[in-house]
Structure 1
């Protein structure tokens, strides 16, 4: 019934500083030679810091030694003294992220008085690493904010095309992770244009190509993704055994999975996992193992898929990000379902639902878009300021001529008259617009009142139909049963004979059926559980009463018991759910029904999904049951969305105002 797709929350943090010798295009020997021949202490300090970074992750003793040497050469003054805190943050980041982020902020503060390209470039780097720290703390909005409003403007001011291109690429990754593939493609193209400028190392394009390959794969453009991977493959041989291969294998594995070539995908991912393990890159290894899961799942190798996710569920690097936890929980739930092991499947689905309830991907998308708009507006403002400066200069030049001054005065008078006339016209038009707006609002209010009246009348008609049905049930059903019992009892009384056990047993059975029928009718009128306990208990009883050997109903309540609702509101919600389940069981012949009801901030959300026969939505207006649901939803000022396909099931999403 469900098909798993590749999710887009594969967070990659493209660090602009790479400890690989080939990536930096610098060798230890060349740096040491420059250090020995440097003419100033400032130059020695900066070279010492570069050596400390080069040994980072390889030789901790040499890293600490060159970091201390750089501090001594800096003499606690100038740009090198400020840059020391940047490199110190790089060294301790793995052990103490918060302290490292504090050092990056200190670097920015100390460098603010300096307006040189070098100072601006290091400020951009410091802000980038601070933003990357926010990303590691599960705050992609903060990362995007820093990139757009701090790191990119500083890199552009510094003329650092390498840094600017990498920051643009990082923004693209944020949009890719948020599922905004078209927006990500826009920033990828900007990054390419920047990284192809003179002076930018060629290897920077490798990360750009692998990023665009992932973006194309996730957006369904597998052929374009393959072209990007081929472009990256042409550059890789120049950097053997570098970390760039990890991104390449991850992107290639994703591309093969999307294309349905699962064996090729697993082969590529296995290469990447083996290389990441040798390099000690735990997170890179785990994100490729997560892609292994998608290949196994879509290849229907569910046992292997389950084992991969169970392994990842115990890895702190993978489970640190909430979006990764969502993938693991949801993947385990669906995999256990395919394995027909519904107990663990329900447990993982519950974990997924609880976590998903606390997250809002749509809010992340909106936040990132808002940050982008602020960035675009800032760029436009710079253009406006440049135009203003140009206009001022031209005006000063023109003021040297008397003829131009006289002409300017005449034009000014004309503009004053024109503005005065324009203001009068604008004021009159504004009053007319306000009148039209008031009339329009009154018309909308009348329409809303008329619509609410129609909904109320429709509900009253439905209740009248319910009363008629109830009368028929009482007369034809319950009345007939009680009458039969009375006739049998009267017959024995007229005969004067004492009835034996068998006739009395028959009469007792008739009375038992009458009591059962009476309870059914009373429950349909007003469920006793709803009056005596809660809405959640009443819905749960309803689900259990409608289940049988052929139909299974899964009910999930989220924050339902945390809110106190008016009795009429509870009854409307109960009737809507009763109609939904009745349609799925009686008309849809569904085998599995999943019902979820939640309340949040004055809204009630109802989702019902079944695997029944489905129906043609264009003819749904003819169904009395659906019309009753729509009328109740409209009466509660809510919204309803129905997605149904013949022989593929039905999904109904309802939002109600319950305040």
Structure 2
């Protein structure tokens, strides 16, 4: 029973999340992409084909993958979308060797792709977040991976309408729960992924991966009988492709199933098929992963000699020993193997190495095993001494000494165990605090990035709006205004040459209409870009604005409480537009007859207060409406890092207070 639990525990530790993978028929897939490179009508298609080939070869031949990636970048040229995709595929290439650089590339891809509001862009952003989280998982931050899947990858996949990507994310969540030994939750997400793949008619390899995952989950959760139907479903899809990489996962899952069934010969035969295929493909890590499964089969079959040989072989492989989880498995497995072979010295040594490598409070039971192994080892050494003393005829003295030694060992072991437990508790709590701080820092960083992007976007919109206003005002005044003025001059000349009184009166009427048109045109041009603001400053421009809006039905009291006209032109324009919009809303929408406008400045803070006796509005009902005027005011206030406060009620007028940073 202990050996079976060892297998279940260690297999759960070593389960890694899958990556986006090619179709089952890999040769047809790569051949089709090579044909595209030869026959593609455009560089953009060639760029995409090179990117896909880079992704395919990333796990097999990093040099070839790098060459395809750089060719894709060359074909991308100045195409900003393809340039953004480059960083996604760069992150995919780097994730085997440099986790930090890979995560940085994925985040850069997400930032650049966020400018594009297309389904494909959302899909790639979802995949970028997925891969970013998968790397976090490999750094043992499972919580971050689950959080990214649920709050980033899945929402983006759903926004793209990409059910295949969503199913892949559900399956990844299931794997996280499986690795955490929460098998019931893992089953829910695995079944949800399978259902999503089926409904979306996803590629067969997605279903194959899902079947393998849920089969392993059933085996690890002591429901081995339910694993067989899942394995059979995967085999139906894999059988036509005897060279597929997915067969390696199938043989691994099948080996686990047979091992837990106690059919060790079948398990070893299935795993050997996988090993031969991995060697044929030159996939050394996959070969070693299957050999690790063979170690479990030998161990559970009580063939401890073969188990030790296999563990010794694996510990000589650099690919296997690169991962901390693999070293943990081998050290722990070797310790138990040596214990069953009654080799207590090596057993203690391997258990100690495992204990030094492990740093989690969840391994407290293993700490107890270390001390138990230490006592067995020392007792075995003491027994040798007893045997030697017996041969010398001093058995009685040895018994007394041994009794004192055992008591001392028990007391020392108890004290050491207490110290280790306290230290482990301290380390665990420290890591919890550190993880919480990292998560908080990460969220704050993302929030700052979002705020910066929003500020840049608002700035660009406002600058573009002002430039367009200036252009239209100039075109209206210089172009259309000049034409109307010329038409009036020509018409006035015609009046002088007309002798008919009726014709003269009609022409004078038309001349008056042209005068009114020129006046209205100048008024429109002035509103779009007031000349007084550029020539005489903000104070004069605001005063002229108030005077121009006053009428018999509307009175505006403009109160200048003191502010500088030395503000930057850009800031003055924003303030002018805010006041213009406030007055326009009060006159047109609130139908106010009396308006008080106050403007003042205190150091780098500019204050705007407007009160009116208009009809007001319901603040709660207005909160659900999105008016263009109020939105423009909020954008400009936000651009100047200010704040706005509105107080209004139906038939009680409106008061608006605005503070702006103008430094």
TM-score by length of 2: 0.53
Per-residue CA deviation, residues 309-333 of structure 1 (Å, 9 max, x unaligned), is 2222343433344433332222111
2:219/2:227 contact within 8 Å kept:
yes
Q: Mapping of 1:469-480 within 5 angstroms? A: none
Whose RCO is larger (CA < 8 A, sep 6+)?
A: 1
2:31 to 20, 28, 31: 28
2:17 to 10, 13, 33: 13
Distance, in Å, in 2 between the alignment partners of 1:223 and 1:602 is 42
Distance, in Å, in 2 between the alignment partners of 1:323 and 1:117 is 38
Q: Which residue of 1 aligns with 2:406?
A: 544
Distance, in Å, in 2 between the alignment partners of 1:244 and 1:33 is 25
Q: CA deviation at 1:560?
A: 5.5
Q: Mapping of 1:189-338 within 5 angstroms? A: 189-338=191-340
Q: Which residue of 1 aligns with 2:593?
A: none
Distance, in Å, in 2 between the alignment partners of 1:597 and 1:57 is 41
Distance, in Å, in 2 between the alignment partners of 1:354 and 1:64 is 38
Q: Which residue of 1 aligns with 2:493?
A: none
Q: Mapping of 1:55-454 within 5 angstroms? A: 55-56=57-58, 63-358=65-360, 360=362
Q: Secondary structure at the match of 1:134?
A: helix
1:555 to 410, 413, 429: 413
Q: Secondary structure at the match of 1:76?
A: coil
Q: CA deviation at 1:277?
A: 2.2
Per-residue CA deviation, residues 512-536 of structure 1 (Å, 9 max, x unaligned), is xxxx9xxx9xxxxxxxxxxxxxxxx
Q: CA deviation at 1:357?
A: 4.4
Q: CA deviation at 1:217?
A: 0.8
Distance of aligned partners of 1:76 and 1:230 in 2 relative to their CA distance in 1, 3 Å threshold: same
1:543/1:553 contact within 8 Å kept:
no
Distance, in Å, in 1 between the alignment partners of 2:168 and 2:197 is 8
Q: Secondary structure at the match of 1:203?
A: helix
Q: CA deviation at 1:289?
A: 1.7
2:119/2:161 contact within 8 Å kept:
yes
Q: CA deviation at 1:91?
A: 3.1
2:361/2:425 contact within 8 Å kept:
no
Per-residue CA deviation, residues 614-642 of structure 1 (Å, 9 max, x unaligned), is xxxxxxxxxxxxxxxxxxxxxxxxxxxxx
Q: Secondary structure at the match of 2:199?
A: coil
Q: CA deviation at 1:250?
A: 0.3
1:85/1:103 contact within 8 Å kept:
yes
Distance of aligned partners of 1:306 and 1:60 in 2 relative to their CA distance in 1, 3 Å threshold: closer
Distance, in Å, in 1 between the alignment partners of 2:292 and 2:183 is 21
Q: Which residue of 2 aligns with 1:378?
A: none
Q: Secondary structure at the match of 2:239?
A: helix
Distance, in Å, in 1 between the alignment partners of 2:62 and 2:167 is 30
Residues paired across the two proteins, number:
389
Unpaired segments of 5 or more residues in structure 1? 363-515, 521-539, 562-595, 604-659
1:556/1:597 contact within 8 Å kept:
no
2:30/2:53 contact within 8 Å kept:
no
Unpaired segments of 5 or more residues in structure 2? 365-396, 428-663
Q: CA deviation at 1:273?
A: 1.6
Distance, in Å, in 1 between the alignment partners of 2:334 and 2:80 is 55
Distance, in Å, in 2 between the alignment partners of 1:35 and 1:150 is 37
Distance, in Å, in 1 between the alignment partners of 2:227 and 2:24 is 29
Per-residue CA deviation, residues 66-120 of structure 1 (Å, 9 max, x unaligned), is 4334323322333111001112233344343332222111101111121211111
Q: Secondary structure at the match of 2:20?
A: coil
2:16/2:138 contact within 8 Å kept:
no
Q: Secondary structure at the match of 1:16?
A: coil
Q: Secondary structure at the match of 2:73?
A: helix
Question: RMSD of the alignment, in Å?
Answer: 3.3
Distance, in Å, in 1 between the alignment partners of 2:255 and 2:412 is 36
Distance, in Å, in 2 between the alignment partners of 1:213 and 1:279 is 25
Q: Mapping of 1:514-553 within 5 angstroms? A: 544-545=406-407
Per-residue CA deviation, residues 394-421 of structure 1 (Å, 9 max, x unaligned), is xxxxxxxxxxxxxxxxxxxxxxxxxxxx
Distance, in Å, in 1 between the alignment partners of 2:94 and 2:425 is 43
Q: Which residue of 2 aligns with 1:504?
A: none
Distance, in Å, in 1 between the alignment partners of 2:411 and 2:336 is 17
Distance, in Å, in 2 between the alignment partners of 1:361 and 1:77 is 52
Q: CA deviation at 1:132?
A: 2.1
Distance of aligned partners of 1:555 and 1:58 in 2 relative to their CA distance in 1, 3 Å threshold: closer
Per-residue CA deviation, residues 314-365 of structure 1 (Å, 9 max, x unaligned), is 4343334443333222211111111111011111122233334445479xxx
